């Protein structure tokens, strides 16, 4: 017989264990260690990158580099670690790996948007000593050199390309809807009215796609929201005062644009838009399938349609046109673009930093840099690549997107930026699903930003454009 | 959960008050288990307690230099709308899916199965338990497909001329609550079946002789006799439901917006999507406190019943 007292004790203990099991889920899990490596001589180098969706460009490029490197350094092995994850999960997995010498890769692919945060976290190794003796560094554009330069003045990553953003539109659908095939919207209203025409004339076609909400992560913040915000008179960060901007009208107007397209049915249904695979869907299904009129998207998306891409589609060069995203009312420079880009970096806890640097040099030979910029649909960051005829003629849209570099804006990618970006996509999602009004969502954003950067690091004045 | 009772040996019963050494020796075989529990269960819990009061993060300043921030995480939580929303949704989810749904449905099924013949009993039992033994993610996908716009439920509704539903999007907390009822009822049913089988037939029969109808028999005879089972069951399913994560994550990811973001999902988002480990563990501690409050209430119930 179980006594009553003992039963109660067991019940209480059981209850406690159940309750804390939720807590222990919060502890970090370690991945099993893959192969030990030596610190000198021939080494095993682990290189990590994000593999999301069916694209094989990076996979094939790295496989080629691996072969080249292993042939040039007998006895060395390159282990490619594709991290299969959506945007936000990729960073989380990578950060967990970089926390321990047992799991840290030797070379990691870091988005410029997160690199400052990871530098602050102490995850990455400064590369200045390596760069000093590297003859290729002079080939990089000055702006690109700053892409992975931290506030301490040191460089932590080697950029392999940048990108710009604009409107892609389907000329065939435009013709059907009676819209001009050489479309040049001058204001947000021009974009909206074209979308409304498509909605009216072409049932079954999604008029306009603007990424929004949490599942698409940074793509929502940058391709979606910031492409709008930087076309207003406001911005995210005041570089003169070194403070984050809150309470701006431009922020509310941008949210209002999101609200308009999602509530009027000019965009995919919020249900569709909140699919973490939306990025792949736009590139491999909606645009090639003639199901989408206008896409606010990046310079790289045609890589889906090349022979090596996820959805080969040679006709894109004639079917699709590109036009710059206009500013809110045509003011300022009249058009907007934002730029990001990715860099190769070495984790502080890498066991073979020297070998890792050798691998980065191999990734960045003129030949390999050109190959990746061409196959990966990048905007070149090296002068010699930009001049390479193979790159220049690689795609019909290359010139258009390279020219946008003259108006492009870089994100205020400081250490707090990823947190601010999270608040942006939370506000977007609240507005697109009708949970909050743009004013409420903007107010919540302001409060959250004050919490992230402290109140005296915020201002209500944007730097004028 | 179970307390093991030492097997009675053939040796003559010992007087109570065994010598200390014997006690120690009896404990010895347990020590590896206790050691493991300390390392793998108490360890993470203590680490959790520590992390909740720091600014620990996966990236940025909180990763480079972990500092004590006192009650800052809790202040931030209780001041944020998202957290209040998560608490509220967690309570709604627990109330609808566990305390009302699983509990009453489980009891109902157990009562009906007493009276039915073997074939029906086996059929119902198997199908209900089937939903319970399915892996959580599989169950979540099945139910997503069921509630989806073009899913089974709408096809059936349209077939009989009724308008469809849009719960996954319009009322996601209802959709996940129904899913949790579907999945978890078996546990309550088993607990109540066991408890009901303990009730002596004579008692119910004599109540019937005294002229008590079905409902009155249930209220004044059957239920009071299984109060302890009810309290125990409530406690277990409440605590299970408070920490449901996979089912909701796979069905709605806590969305759309934050309309089905219960505490475990909020915690996951803050800790892993947004890298705020310290804040995430602080939320976990709040969950623990909520679980403890519920447990205390049920334990009081058990006590008063014992009096």
Q: What is the pLDDT of residues B68-103, one digit of tens each?
A: 999 999 998 998 888 999 999 999 999 999 999 999
Strand, coil or helix: B85: helix
pLDDT (mean) for A372-394: 89
For residues A308 and A395, is the Cβ–Cβ distance under 8 A? no
B48 — alpha (psi -120 to 50), left (phi > 0) or beta? alpha
Task: Give the pLDDT score at A8.
Answer: 55
A430 touches chain B (CB under 8 A): yes
pLDDT range class, residue B1, cuts 50, 70, 90: very low
pLDDT digits (tens, 9 = 90+) for A126-152: 999 999 999 999 999 887 888 888 888
Task: Give the pLDDT score at B15.
Answer: 52
Task: Give the pLDDT score at B245.
Answer: 95
Chain A residues closer than 8 Å to B247 by CB: none
Query: Is the Cβ pair B59, A121 closer than 8 Å?
Result: yes
Chain B residues closer than 8 Å to A91 by CB: 59, 275
A452 touches chain B (CB under 8 A): no
The structural domains of chain A, with segments of one domain joined by +, span 44-163+340-409, 165-338+411-459
pLDDT over 70 (residue A439): yes
Query: Is the Cβ pair B60, A429 closer than 8 Å?
Result: no
A217 — alpha (psi -120 to 50), left (phi > 0) or beta? left
pLDDT digits (tens, 9 = 90+) for A266-301: 999 988 898 877 888 999 999 999 999 999 999 999
pLDDT digits (tens, 9 = 90+) for A15-49: 444 444 444 443 333 333 333 333 346 789 999 99
Task: Give the pLDDT score at A412.
Answer: 87
User: Which of A10, A20, A431 should one mutate to test binding to chain B, selecting the residue with the greatest count of B CBs within 10 A?
Assistant: A20
Task: Give the pLDDT score at A38.
Answer: 36
Query: Is the Cβ pair B61, A415 closer than 8 Å?
Result: yes
pLDDT range class, residue B165, cuts 50, 70, 90: confident
A347 — alpha (psi -120 to 50), left (phi > 0) or beta? beta
DSSP B28: G
Quote the mean pLDDT of chain A.
88
pLDDT (mean) for A205-215: 95
**Smallest CA–CA separation between B272 and chain A, in Å?**
6
Task: Give the pLDDT score at A17.
Answer: 46
**Chain A stretch 263-322, residues whose beta carbon is closer than 8 A to a beta carbon of chain B:** 270-271, 274
pLDDT digits (tens, 9 = 90+) for B239-265: 999 999 999 999 988 878 788 999 999
Say whether A165-338+411-459 and A44-163+340-409 share the same fold: yes
Match domain A165-338+411-459 to its CATH number in 2.40.50.140, 3.40.50.1700, 3.90.1200.10, 3.40.190.10: 3.40.190.10
- Which among A23, A418, A444 has the least Cβ separation from residue B48? A23
Match domain A44-163+340-409 to its CATH number in 1.10.1270.20, 3.40.190.10, 2.40.40.20, 3.30.70.1340: 3.40.190.10
- Which among A121, A419, A451 has the least Cβ separation from residue B64? A121
d(CA B251, CA B237): 20
User: Which of A5, A10, A18 should one mutate to test binding to chain B, selecting the residue with the greatest count of B CBs within 10 A?
Assistant: A18
As a whole-number percent, the residues of chain B with pLDDT over 90 amount to: 55
Planar angle of CA B40, B46, B49, nearest 5 degrees:
140
Q: Picking from A7-21, A128-142, A377-391, which range would have the lowest pLDDT averaged per residue?
A: A7-21
pLDDT digits (tens, 9 = 90+) for B200-238: 888 888 888 888 788 888 888 889 889 999 999 999 999
Task: Give the pLDDT score at A37.
Answer: 36
pLDDT (mean) for A169-191: 96
pLDDT digits (tens, 9 = 90+) for A315-356: 999 999 999 999 999 999 999 999 998 999 999 999 999 999
For residues A210 and A294, is the Cβ–Cβ distance under 8 A? no
Query: Is the Cβ pair A26, B271 closer than 8 Å?
Result: yes
Task: Give the pLDDT score at A149.
Answer: 86
pLDDT (mean) for B115-126: 89
User: Which of B41, B50, B59 should one mutate to test binding to chain A, selecting the residue with the greatest count of A CBs within 10 A?
Assistant: B59
**The CATH number of domain B82-305 is 1.10.3720.10:** yes
């Amino acid at each position: 017989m179980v006594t009553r007292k003992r039963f109660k004790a067991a019940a209480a203990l059981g209850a406690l264990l159940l309750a804390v099991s939720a807590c222990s889920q919060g502890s970090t899990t370690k991945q099993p260690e893959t192969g030990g490596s030596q610190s000198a001589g021939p080494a095993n180098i682990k290189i990590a990158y994000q593999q999301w969706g069916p694209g094989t460009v990076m996979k094939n490029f790295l496989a080629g580099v691996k072969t080249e490197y292993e042939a040039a350094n007998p006895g060395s092995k390159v282990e490619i670690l594709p991290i299969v994850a959506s945007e936000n999960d990729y960073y989380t997995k990578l950060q967990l790996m970089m926390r321990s010498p047992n799991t840290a890769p030797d070379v990691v692919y870091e988005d410029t948007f997160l690199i400052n945060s990871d530098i602050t976290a102490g995850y990455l190794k400064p590369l200045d000593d390596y760069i000093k003796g590297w003859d290729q560094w002079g080939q990089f554009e000055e702006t690109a050199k700053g892409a992975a330069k931290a506030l301490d003045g040191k460089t932590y990553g080697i950029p392999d390309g940048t990108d710009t953003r604009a409107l892609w539109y389907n000329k065939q659908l435009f013709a059907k809807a009676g819209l001009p095939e050489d479309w040049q919207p001058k204001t947000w209203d021009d974009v909206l009215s074209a979308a409304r025409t498509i909605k009216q004339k072409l049932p079954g076609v999604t008029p306009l796609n603007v990424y929004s909400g949490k599942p698409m992560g940074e793509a929502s913040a940058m391709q979606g929201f910031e492409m709008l915000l930087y076309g207003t008179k406001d911005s995210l960060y005041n570089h003169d005062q070194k403070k984050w901007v809150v309470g701006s009208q431009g922020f509310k107007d941008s949210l209002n644009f999101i609200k308009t397209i999602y509530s009027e049915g000019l965009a995919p249904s919020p249900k569709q838009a909140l699919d973490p695979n939306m990025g792949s869907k736009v590139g491999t299904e909606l645009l090639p399938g003639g199901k989408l009129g206008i896409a606010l998207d990046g310079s790289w998306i045609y890589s889906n349609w090349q022979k090596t891409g996820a959805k080969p589609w040679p006709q894109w060069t004639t079917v699709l046109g590109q036009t710059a995203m206009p500013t809110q009312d045509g003011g300022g420079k009249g058009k907007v673009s934002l730029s990001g880009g990715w860099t190769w970096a070495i984790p502080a806890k890498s066991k073979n930093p020297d070998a890792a640097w050798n691998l980065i040099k191999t990734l960045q030979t003129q030949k390999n840099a050109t190959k990746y910029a061409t196959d990966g649909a990048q905007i070149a960051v090296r002068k010699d690549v930009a001049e390479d005829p193979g790159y220049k003629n690689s795609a019909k849209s290359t010139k258009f997107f390279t020219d946008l570099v003259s108006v492009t804006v870089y994100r205020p990618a400081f250490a707090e930026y990823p947190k601010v970006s999270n608040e942006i996509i939370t506000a977007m999602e609240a507005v697109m699903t009708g949970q909050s009004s743009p004013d409420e969502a903007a107010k919540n954003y302001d409060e959250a930003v004050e919490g992230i950067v402290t109140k005296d690091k915020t201002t209500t004045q944007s730097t004028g454009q | 959960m179970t307390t093991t009772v030492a097997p009675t040996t053939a040796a003559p019963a010992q007087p109570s008050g065994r010598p200390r050494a014997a006690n120690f020796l009896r404990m010895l075989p347990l020590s590896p288990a206790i050691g493991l529990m300390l390392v793998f269960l108490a360890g993470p819990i203590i680490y959790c307690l520590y992390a909740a009061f720091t600014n620990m993060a996966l990236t940025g300043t909180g990763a480079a230099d972990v500092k004590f921030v006192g009650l800052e995480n809790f202040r931030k939580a209780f001041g944020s709308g998202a957290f209040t929303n998560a608490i509220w949704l967690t309570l709604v989810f627990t109330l609808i899916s566990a305390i009302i749904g699983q509990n009453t449905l489980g009891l109902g099924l157990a009562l009906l199965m007493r009276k039915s013949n073997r074939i029906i009993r086996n059929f119902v039992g198997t199908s209900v338990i089937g939903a319970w033994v399915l892996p959580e993610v599989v169950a979540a996908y099945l139910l997503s497909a069921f509630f989806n716009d073009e899913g089974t439920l709408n096809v059936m509704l349209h077939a009989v001329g009724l308008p469809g539903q849009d719960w996954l999007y319009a009322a996601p907390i209802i959709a996940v609550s129904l899913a949790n009822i579907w999945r978890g009822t078996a546990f309550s049913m088993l607990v109540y079946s066991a408890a009901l089988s303990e009730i002596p037939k004579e008692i119910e029969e004599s109540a019937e002789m005294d002229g008590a109808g079905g409902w009155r028999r249930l209220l004044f005879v059957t239920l009071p006799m299984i109060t302890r089972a009810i309290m125990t069951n409530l406690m277990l399913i409440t605590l299970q439901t408070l920490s449901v994560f996979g089912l909701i994550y796979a069905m709605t990811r806590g969305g759309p917006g934050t309309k089905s973001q219960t505490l475990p999902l909020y915690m996951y988002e803050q800790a892993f999507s947004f890298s705020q480990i310290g804040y995430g563990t602080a939320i976990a501690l709040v969950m623990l406190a909520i679980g403890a409050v519920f447990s205390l209430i049920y334990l009081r119930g058990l006590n008063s019943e014992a009096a």
